[in-house]
């Protein structure tokens, strides 16, 4: 290892880790390199500069990438298929229409918040926007309400689920890294996420919607409003059936977690069965296969059409999966090189609260790289050793703190920033005042609630 200015071994490790992270940040944010390539570059650089054997660095990268994607890649693929079935069947439209009818026109922002929370559960944020933009534009035309007044709550719902609520793949990264209980994490996520989404969604949306008035671009609005006109007329799936399909993985995971709590050592067939179906991979698989029938065959689609939907939707997830894998590789090099232990020792010596530490690390990486997924994946590798040396820490709240930090201050280096800007037909300053502020409110309010919850439980 190359020593720096006579620093101790631990501090030399930390300095080189910061250099690697700086390379990561600069190459992604400044030079717009592909995040996956940069994550591999930073991983190799860190391992070699610290003094790991070259072949050990390669093994570390491979094991980190493979270990991270072992279950996450399956969850992403299945969740994307489930989201595609929602879009093609009209299930997402059914959910939105039903909720809007029941909430009433005056409470449309609240309805769209619920829609964002529900639809965002199985899909990534970007996919959720694509699914819901047609519904959002339809609502705007029918109600003549400000676009931001309705759109911000929808975005708040999608973003809250993305950062906080399993079985969304982003929180699952931290759950797997910290070995947290999924059921308990879901319970805490609901306690924290619902009030957070309300503040950043309908409340902030109403405020900013009265100050920034924008309308969808005419061509874009027409494109989405007519996107299903070339399909045969089909009756929409029922609200209850669609809701059951979307919530099925959550229900199955909760069932498995309850079994672990009630009968942790039971070897009975029933207990084993509930643990099996409660596994995140099995739960998502069951829900996706169920969606093929409930939102596919039951709606008149042929097996060829359903197979085509499932194949088409996987291509866009390749980049997401590689980035997550790259983050896992960087995380593993941090651990195998001893950086993780060094960080853990320094943090515990300074008596840093692990919940605060997780939030700050994820927030720093999020602001620097623009990716909530990279922030959660990389922060998980940095925080895990600290968590291991912090007996009595609430692991599930550390998961949520990592997620909250990963949402903060979305700006021009975030792909989501540009998606929102273009779909909402806003200028960069308008997007900063609306979307960026909303994401920061989400992050900070969630963090405050996590700290309050941590003082209680």
**Which tens digit of pLDDT belongs to each residue from 143-166?**
778 889 999 999 999 999 988 988
Query: CA end-to-end span of the chain, whole Å?
Result: 43
Q: CB–CB of 13/338 below 8 Å? A: yes
Eight-state DSSP code of residue 52: -
C-alpha angle 319/400/361, rounded to 5°?
70
* Tally of CB atoms within 10 A around 197: 27
Q: Tell me the pLDDT band of 223, cut-offs 50, 70 and 90.
A: very low
Q: CB–CB of 386/343 below 8 Å? A: yes
Please give the helix or strand (H or E) that residue 402 lies within, else none.
helix 395-405
What are the domain boundaries of the chain?
Answer: 9-456
Each residue's pLDDT tens digit, 235-281: 788 888 988 888 888 788 778 877 876 776 777 778 889 889 888 78
Name the percent of the chain in helix, strand, coil, to the closest 5.
80, 0, 20
Torsion, Cα 75 303 126 235, to 10 degrees, reads -120
77 has pLDDT over 80: yes
Q: Tell me the pLDDT band of 201, cut-offs 50, 70 and 90.
A: very high
Each residue's pLDDT tens digit, 404-418: 999 998 876 677 787
Q: Tell which residue, 410, 337, 351, 422, has the closest CA to residue 375.
A: 410
């Amino acid at each position: 290892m190359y020593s720096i200015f006579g620093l101790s071994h631990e501090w030399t490790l930390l300095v080189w880790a910061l250099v690697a992270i700086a390379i990561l940040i600069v190459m992604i944010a400044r030079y717009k390199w592909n995040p996956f390539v940069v994550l591999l570059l930073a991983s190799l650089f860190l391992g070699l500069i610290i003094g790991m054997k070259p072949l050990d660095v390669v093994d570390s990268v491979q094991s980190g990438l493979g270990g991270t994607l072992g279950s996450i890649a399956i969850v992403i693929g299945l969740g994307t298929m489930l989201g595609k079935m929602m879009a093609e069947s009209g299930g997402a439209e059914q959910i939105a229409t039903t909720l809007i009818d029941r909430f009433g026109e005056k409470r449309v922002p609240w309805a769209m918040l619920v829609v964002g929370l529900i639809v965002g559960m199985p899909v990534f944020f970007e996919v959720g926007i694509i699914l819901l933009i047609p519904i959002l534009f339809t609502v705007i035309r029918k109600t003549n309400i400000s676009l931001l007044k309705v759109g911000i709550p929808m975005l708040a719902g999608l973003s809250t689920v993305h950062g906080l609520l399993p079985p969304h793949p982003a929180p699952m990264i931290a759950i797997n890294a910290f070995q947290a209980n999924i059921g308990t994490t879901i319970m805490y996520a609901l306690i924290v996420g619902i009030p957070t989404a309300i503040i950043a969604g309908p409340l902030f949306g109403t405020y900013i919607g009265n100050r920034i008035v924008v309308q969808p671009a005419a061509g874009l609005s027409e494109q989405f409003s007519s996107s299903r006109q070339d399909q045969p007329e089909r009756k929409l799936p029922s609200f209850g059936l669609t809701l059951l399909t979307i919530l099925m993985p959550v229900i199955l995971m909760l069932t498995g977690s309850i079994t672990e709590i009630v009968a942790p050592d039971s070897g009975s067939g029933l207990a084993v069965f509930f643990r099996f179906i409660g596994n995140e991979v099995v739960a998502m698989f069951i829900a996706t296969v169920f969606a093929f029938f409930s939102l596919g065959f039951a709606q008149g689609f042929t097996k060829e059409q359903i197979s085509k939907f499932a194949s088409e939707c996987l291509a866009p997830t390749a980049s997401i999966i590689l980035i997550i894998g790259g983050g896992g590789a960087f995380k593993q090099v941090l651990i195998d090189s001893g950086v993780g232990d060094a960080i853990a020792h320094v943090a515990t010596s300074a008596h840093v609260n692990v919940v605060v530490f997780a939030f700050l690390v994820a927030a720093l990486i999020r602001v620097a790289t623009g990716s909530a997924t990279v922030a959660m994946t990389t922060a998980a590798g940095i925080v895990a050793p600290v968590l291991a040396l912090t007996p009595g820490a609430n692991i599930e709240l550390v998961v949520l703190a990592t997620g909250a930090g990963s949402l903060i201050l979305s700006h021009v280096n975030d792909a989501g920033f540009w998606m929102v800007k273009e779909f909402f037909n806003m200028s960069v300053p308008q997007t900063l005042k609306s979307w960026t502020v909303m994401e920061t409110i989400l992050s900070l309010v969630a963090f405050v609630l996590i700290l309050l919850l941590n003082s209680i439980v």
